[in-house]
Amino acid sequence: MPHLSSRLPLRLLAVVALTFATVLPAGMPAQAATDITERVRANENIELAGDAVITLGDGEEVVYGGVFSGVGTLTVRGRGKLVLTADSDFQIPEDRQRQRMEILGIPGHPSITMRDPDPPAVTVEAGATLQYGDGAGSTGRVGHYPYDYPNFAWNALNHHVDGTLVVAVSGALYHPGILSGGGVLNQPRFIWDGVDLAGDHTFSGTIVNGTGVHVGRREYLTSLPNLAKLVNYGSFMVDTPHAYDTVLGFDIFSREWGNDINFYGAPDGSRVIMSGVYSWSDQGSETDPSLSDPDLNYRAVPKNINKRGVNIQGAIVQWGDGTHNRFFLPGTRETIYINLYTRRARGHLIFDYNGPVTLGAPISGGQYHDTMAAVAQGDVTIAGTPGNDVTFADQQNYEGTTTIENGATLRLGSGSPGQDSWLITGTAGAKIVDDGVLVVSNAEQAIELSGVTGAGSFQQAGPASVTFTGDIAYTGPTTVSSGELVLAGGSIASSAGLDLSRPGAALDVTAAEDQTVHNLRGVKGSALRLGAAGLIVASTENTTYAGKVEGAGGLVKAGAATLTYSGTSTAQAPWAVTDGTLVLADAKLAGGLVVGRSLGVAGASAVGGNLTLRRTSTLQVGTGAALTVAGDVELGGRLTIRHKDGARLPRELAVVTSGGKITGTFAGLADGDRLDIGGTAYEISYAADRVLLTVPAPSAGPSADAQPENAAGPTAPGASASPVVAILLGSAAVLVLGATVFVVVRRRRRPLTPRHAQSAMITHEQTSSDQPDVR
């Protein structure tokens, strides 16, 4: 447990003086304990003068109405029970007094703890029971309160319990000093106000809370690092002082309907950390409870006696310490409740585990069991511990900020029917800060999300749809693996990419306007559903999309990288390429296509409308590709032919085939110009319905100025042929651009047919996995 002094720039320290221990002279024997059993049985007032022992017979119960005073210690042994009904006050011998009180905290908010505690003043040996109070009255305590501290009455008489200590005094809280031993501390049912456990206790036994046990108040520090378990019948109340985290690592077992845990806290960031498990118990003794079947935490039993809950009263409460994934509160809304309130400060619940856990009930704001009667006001954080993977498997009814830290995952819905989840969204106080991973896996319940920011990612992983309704600004990637992500007032323009990763996954923008997605990826069987406004796909990475494109709008390819499309689009509006490259790889477009930059064709692809190639465009066609256009074709820009080294060349290449008319030419290529592709001369022709590259038939005899077809060097002086773009492929000069190596080619004129010398680009290709294959 961290010491406050390591956290505060200013520490208030006051030492309340006790006498220092004196050393017994060498050789002096320790004083033998005095047996006062008979005097106790006789109900005498007893002034202690050293160590005293009370020995009880087997099964004996002694009710003592007298008073202990003086200087000494008490030990109760045997197998009986001693009940004290009057208050007693004594001191331990002066030579054993060494503990000192430290006043800690921050200015205006002091808290205390005890350093170097005294040896126990009261010892309950194994087998014996000591009870304070008769269960009805307000007296029976043993205590000595010498400290001048106005905020808390600290008992200087420490207790060592290996047997059982029962605190059955009503009307005021009892503090047993510093508690040690391995027995049982029992605070019975229906006896208020209960027990205050101030201090650093080494006690390793069991606490049975029948009515009320308090730890970690604002006035004092508490640690119980060795406690085995707490059995809860009543209310376990946990607070923490300013600038100090109260850490409780033990398991808590519920044994009665109506028990709960109430968390309080200082509004300065101090936390209550619970790293154990709060479970029902249906078997075992009161001091050794257990659960016969873990599933009993998740289903109602007769009379709902396994119902338990927590109330977070403006505290910062953390479940888990990041070292395990034993979930603190296993259950469903039938067996547990969580109420989150704002009391002086906003309630805040943090989940910190290193593996998957599931919350099966709502976080809400009602009163006790009637948890859904009001909306909670508070915040939830999924801590950024690696492996922290939290599933909400029920409706969440809190209005506040949900934070997913870097390295953490929050899942809404488990993927199973009846375990869907959703958050309050669209209000001024409802926000999601996603710096990790947000996953929606609902099986049945369609939900809406808005107000999502952060550097994290979003995944739609369930068949039920998710609708983004506004203020979506997270910057990580978006993945849809199941169901439909709908944009209706929200946008994923800030997201790094969109991946429709499985068949059936869809992005629906039919109700949205001016939508942009980055780095579109998708498999066959996925779908983009467009509205009238269409969709901009901005590419900064080379990606492939094989799904459908549906709707009234069109798609605009933007961004410098390449999008390869191999699906079928039934969208009626034209597509456009404003930047980068669109590769059609066995793709079919129902509408037209306007290309302002680069269009690649790989395989047999079709455009259902008109094709317009702007003067700024490049058409890249592979020697094994075919582009069919149902409408008119307007040519312009450059033509690039891609040829794989060693591949067999056809005698005829159809660059484009039109069902309408073809107008224009490619830049630098007039009708009849010849091109050298892989050592083979082709002649380009512009017909009414197609553009062809054809190997010309041999002429009757060579002309005087003709050169061999395999010539690759510069044209001889005086020859009529003109060189085109010349980038030599050989040991002297090689230029690699992506996965394409450009080589010298030569455009030739047909014999006796004069043409102006123009340039075109032919490529000799070496394929690579990150480049589209447009052969």
140-154, 459-473, 515-529: least confidently modelled range: 140-154
What integer pLDDT is reported at residue 217 of this predicted model? 86
Q: Are the CB atoms for 526 and 503 separated by under 8 Å? A: yes
Residues of the chain with pLDDT > 90: what percent? Answer: 78
d(CA 443, CA 461): 9
Exposure class string for 2-34: b at 16+ Cβ within 10 A, else e: eebeeebeebbeeebebeeeeeeeeeeeeeeee
d(CA 209, CA 310): 15
pLDDT tier at 10, thresholds 50, 70, 90: very low
Which residue do the tokens 């630098």 mark? 668
Using alpha carbons, select from 173, 216, 200 the residue that is nearest to residue 101: 200
State mean pLDDT over 289-318: 96
Is the pTM here over 0.85, yes or no?
Answer: yes
> Residue 743: pLDDT above 90?
no
CA dihedral 529, 534, 536, 537 (to 10 degrees): 30
d(CA 82, CA 550): 83
d(CA 775, CA 771): 12
d(CA 739, CA 745): 18
What integer pLDDT is reported at residue 690 of this predicted model? 96
d(CA 496, CA 485): 16
Chain centroid offset of residue 697 CA: 69
The three-class DSSP label of residue 304 is helix
Q: Please give the sequence-ordered ranges of beta strands (E in DSSP) within 57-99, or none if there are none.
A: 61-64, 68-78, 81-84
Residues of the chain with pLDDT > 70: what percent? Answer: 86
d(CA 623, CA 601): 10
The three-class DSSP label of residue 744 is coil
Give me the sheet containing 593-595, strands edge to edge. Answer: 515-518, 535-538, 555-558, 575-577, 593-595, 611-613, 633-634, 662-663
Using alpha carbons, select from 264, 268, 277, 377 the residue that is nearest to residue 325: 277
pLDDT digits 0-9 by tens, 196-238: 999 999 999 999 999 999 998 888 999 999 999 999 999 999 9
Chain centroid offset of residue 561 CA: 31
d(CA 111, CA 11): 11
pLDDT digits 0-9 by tens, 607-624: 999 999 999 999 999 988
Using alpha carbons, select from 700, 651, 679 the residue that is nearest to residue 762: 679
Tokens of 104: 């800690």
d(CA 637, CA 446): 48
> Residue 648: pLDDT above 90?
no
> Residue 327: pLDDT above 80?
yes
d(CA 237, CA 275): 16
The three-class DSSP label of residue 398 is strand
Chain centroid offset of residue 302 CA: 36
Q: How far is CA 691 from CA 25, 378, 638, 664, in A?
A: 116, 68, 14, 11
Tokens of 268: 């300065």
What integer pLDDT is reported at residue 105 of this predicted model? 83
What integer pLDDT is reported at residue 707 of this predicted model? 38
Q: Are the CB atoms for 538 and 559 separated by under 8 Å? A: yes
> Residue 193: pLDDT above 60?
yes
What integer pLDDT is reported at residue 722 of this predicted model? 30
pLDDT tier at 514, thresholds 50, 70, 90: confident
d(CA 232, CA 257): 10
d(CA 611, CA 627): 10
Cis bond before residue 689 (omega within 30° of 0):
no
d(CA 128, CA 56): 8
Using alpha carbons, select from 529, 516, 445 the residue that is nearest to residue 485: 529
Please return the burial class of 488, using the count of CB atoms within 10 Å of its CB with bins 0-12, 13-18 and 19+.
middle
> Residue 28: pLDDT above 70?
no
Q: How many residues does the chain have?
A: 775
41-50, 108-117, 387-396, 558-567: least confidently modelled range: 108-117
DSSP 175-221: --SSEESSSEEEE-TT--B-EEE-EE----SEEEESSEEEES-TTB-
Tokens of 263: 């968390």
d(CA 266, CA 243): 8
Q: Are the CB atoms for 209 and 233 separated by under 8 Å? A: yes
DSSP 624-676: T-EEEESS-EE--SEEEEEEETTPPPPSEEEEEEESS-EE---TT--TT-EEE
What integer pLDDT is reported at residue 700 of this predicted model? 54
Q: Are the CB atoms for 74 and 68 separated by under 8 Å? A: yes
pLDDT digits 0-9 by tens, 265-300: 877 889 999 999 999 999 999 889 999 999 999 999
d(CA 577, CA 594): 6
Residue 340 is inside which H or E element, if any?
strand 336-343
Q: Which amino acid is at 296?
A: L
Q: Which one has a higher pLDDT value, 489 or 519?
A: 519
| Interstrand relation of 515-518 and 229-232 (parallel, antiparallel or unpaired) | unpaired
Q: How far is CA 126 from CA 75, 129, 181, 225, 466, in A?
A: 11, 8, 10, 21, 61
Tokens of 426: 């669209």
State mean pLDDT over 16-24: 34
> Residue 107: pLDDT above 90?
no
Q: Give the other-Cβ count within 10 Å of 640's Cβ.
A: 20
The three-class DSSP label of residue 449 is strand
Which residue do the tokens 């109405």 mark? 65
Exposure class string for 102-113: b at 16+ Cβ within 10 A, else e: bbbbbeeebbbb
Tokens of 398: 């809190």
pLDDT tier at 344, thresholds 50, 70, 90: confident
Cis bond before residue 673 (omega within 30° of 0):
no
> Residue 769: pLDDT above 60?
no
pLDDT digits 0-9 by tens, 585-597: 999 999 999 999 9
Which residue do the tokens 């059955």 mark? 168
Angle at 561 between CA 559 and CA 563, to 5 degrees: 95
261: β partners: 236, 310
Phi, psi for residue 41 in degrees, rounded to 5: -65, -30
First to last CA, the chain: 68
What integer pLDDT is reported at residue 699 of this predicted model? 63
Tokens of 144: 């000595």
Tokens of 521: 């990826």
What integer pLDDT is reported at residue 31 of this predicted model? 65
Q: How many CA atoms lie within 13 A of 547 on its CB side?
A: 24
What integer pLDDT is reported at residue 739 of this predicted model? 35
d(CA 687, CA 692): 8
Question: Across the chain, what does the average pLDDT equal?
Answer: 88
> Residue 192: pLDDT above 70?
yes
Q: Are the CB atoms for 365 and 397 separated by under 8 Å? A: yes
Q: How far is CA 185 from CA 52, 163, 248, in A?
A: 22, 9, 17
